Amino acid sequence: MDFVKRNTGNKKYTDLKDQDLVKQFRRKADESAFNELMNRHQTKVYSYIYSMVNNPETANDIFQETFTKVVTKMDDTYNEQGKWIAWVMRIAHNATIDHIRKQKRYIDVNSWYSEEDSKADYFDRLQDGSIVDADDQMIENETNISLMSHITKLPEEQRTVVLLRHYYEMPFKEIAELTNVSINTALGRMRYALINLRKHFDEERQQELKHAKH
């Protein structure tokens, strides 16, 4: 406690570690501490969820559900020794998988993604300021959409490993723990995901070549 006081006394919230911010929020309901935590992680958590479900409304629901659980369970299940974001990601992952499994009963996963329909939402949610030139932006966005469509075609287990690795640079040991499989299985899923993606990229390139010939 004294440590937190000392830190907050001398440092800004941006300089504090996640663990100290969590302590501040838990003990004093410190709004600034929670804001800082959200600012640090909201984009990655949301990107993971969005990339997994590929539907803005669903992503919003799961994102909200995730943070509701985070706040509710923080006092009971979060161990302050562990990484806060890893714990949040576990909640986000479980909420996402629960949703996908519920949906699987009714809808084919591969049919969720409709490029035309989702373009507007996709552009709305892209991070601002990264692309300056309009033509470059167009090309970049098309590449991203194509990439997202390939990611969406991956089986759920492979997609999970790819996205956890990409957005969080999560070690395979942690990915394995999060997904309740062995490290070798997680590595194997990554390998199959890359092989599948390579296949999709090749198909796409061949189609582009066909169009160019015609």
Q: Which residues bind other proteins (CB under 8 A)?
A: 25-29, 31, 34-35, 38, 42-44, 46-47, 50-51, 59-60, 63-64, 67-68, 70-72, 74-75, 125-128, 143-144, 147-148, 151, 162-163, 165-167, 171-172, 184, 187-188, 190-191, 194-195, 197-198, 201
| Nearest approach, Cβ of residue 86 and other proteins (Å) | 17
Look at residues 58, 48, 54 and name the one whose alpha carbon lies nearest to residue 110.
54
Contact 151, 136 (CB under 8 A): no
- DSSP characters for 38-78? HHHHHHHHHHHHHHHH--HHHHHHHHHHHHHHHHHHHHHH-
Alpha-carbon distance of 81 to 38, in angstroms, equals 19
What DSSP element (H or E) covers 95?
Answer: helix 84-104
| Nearest approach, Cβ of residue 9 and other proteins (Å) | 20
| Nearest approach, Cβ of residue 36 and other proteins (Å) | 11
Residue (106 or 123) nearer to other proteins, CB: 123
Structure tokens at 29: 């309901």
Residue (105 or 135) nearer to other proteins, CB: 135
| Nearest approach, Cβ of residue 25 and other proteins (Å) | 6
Alpha-carbon distance of 160 to 151, in angstroms, equals 10
Residue (26 or 83) nearer to other proteins, CB: 26
| Nearest approach, Cβ of residue 78 and other proteins (Å) | 13
Residue (72 or 207) nearer to other proteins, CB: 72
Contact 157, 148 (CB under 8 A): no
Residue (11 or 198) nearer to other proteins, CB: 198
